[in-house]
Amino acid sequence: MTTLITGGTGFLGRHLIDQLIAKGESELRVLTRNPAPELSDLGVEVIEGSLLSRDDLERAADGVQRVYHLAGRVERDRKKAHLMYELHVDGTRLLLDVLNDSDTDIDNIVVASTSGTVGVGTSPDFMATDDSPHAESVVRNWPYYLSKIYAERVCFDFIDEHQLPIVQMRPTLLLGPGDERSSSTGDVVLFLKRKIPAIIEGGLSYVDVRDTADAFIRAMESGDPGDTFLLGATNLTLRDFFARLEALSGVQAPSVAVPDSLAKLGSRLLDAVTNVKSDVGELDPVSLEMARHYWYIDSSRAIGELNFSPRDPDKTLRDTIDWIRENHPDFQDERGPRPDPPPERVPPETVEYARTLREHHADE
DSSP letter for each residue of 259-277: PHHHHHHHHHHHHHHHTT-
Say whether pLDDT at 271 is over 50.
Answer: no
CA 133, 139, 141 angle in degrees (round to 5)? 150
Q: What is the pLDDT of residues 5-55, one digit of tens each?
A: 999 999 999 999 999 999 999 999 999 999 999 999 999 999 999 999 999
CATH of 2-251+285-359, one of 2.40.40.20, 3.40.50.300, 3.40.630.40, 3.40.50.720: 3.40.50.720
Mean pLDDT of 46-66: 97
pLDDT class of 248 with cuts at 50, 70, 90? very high
pLDDT at 319 over 50: yes
Residue 357 pLDDT? 53
Q: pLDDT value at position 353?
A: 53
For 123-145, the DSSP string reads STT--B-TTSPP-HHHHTT-HHH
pTM: 0.86
Helix segments in the chain, DSSP class H: 11-22, 37-40, 54-61, 81-84, 92-101, 136-139, 143-162, 186-192, 209-222, 238-249, 260-274, 285-291, 300-306, 313-327, 348-363
Q: What is the mean pLDDT of the chain?
A: 88
CA-CA distance, 175 to 314, in Å (whole number)?
A: 11
Pairing of strands 199-200, 257-258: parallel
Task: List, edge to edge, every strand of the sheet that includes 203-208.
Answer: 173-175, 203-208, 234-237
Q: How many CA within 13 A on the CB side of residue 185?
A: 30
Is residue 356 scored above 70 in pLDDT?
no
Give residue 53's pLDDT: 97
| Mean pLDDT of the 225-231 span | 98
Domain spans, the chain = 2-251+285-359
256 compared with 118, residue with greater pLDDT: 118
Instruction: Compare 282 and 54 and report the one with higher pLDDT.
Output: 54
Predicted confidence at residue 257, as pLDDT, reads 75
Is the pLDDT at 277 greater than 60? The verdict is no
- Helix or strand (DSSP H, E) at 228: strand 228-231
Quickly state the pLDDT bin for 333 (edges 50, 70, 90): low
Tens digits of per-residue pLDDT, 133-187?
Answer: 999 999 998 999 999 999 999 999 999 999 999 999 999 999 999 999 999 999 9
Instruction: Give the pLDDT mean for 326-339.
Output: 70
Q: How confident is the model at residue 291 (pLDDT cuts 50, 70, 90)?
A: confident
State residue 279's pLDDT score. 33
**319: amino acid identity, one letter:** D
